[in-house]
Amino acid sequence: RKLAGEKLRLERIQDETASIERIRQKLLEMRKDDEQERREVALKKQQMALSKTQREIKHKELMSNP
């Protein structure tokens, strides 16, 4: 009887541990996704700044060479 109670308790602890591990994995995946998104946003900003600079250079070239 006491042994059955201990067995149930152990199973519950194992279930909770597995649940915690699944949550931990999900959080890790979410963090990776967030980091990836931040990198993509930063890259897009750099590309926009680069094309703006290229347009400005082109404009200056056109103005200096009529």
pLDDT of residue 36: 96
User: Domain residue spans in the chain?
Assistant: 1-66
Mind listing the pLDDT tens digit for each residue in 36-66? 999 999 999 999 999 999 999 999 999 998 7
pLDDT of residue 66: 72
Round the average pLDDT of the chain to a whole number and report it.
95
d(CA 60, CA 46): 21
d(CA 40, CA 57): 26
Report percent pLDDT > 90 for the chain.
Answer: 91
What average pLDDT does the segment 9-28 reach? Answer: 97
User: Following DSSP, what letter does each residue of the chain receive, concatenated?
Assistant: -HHHHHHHHHHHHHHHHHHHHHHHHHHHHHHHHHHHHHHHHHHHHHHHHHHHHHHHHHHHHHHH--
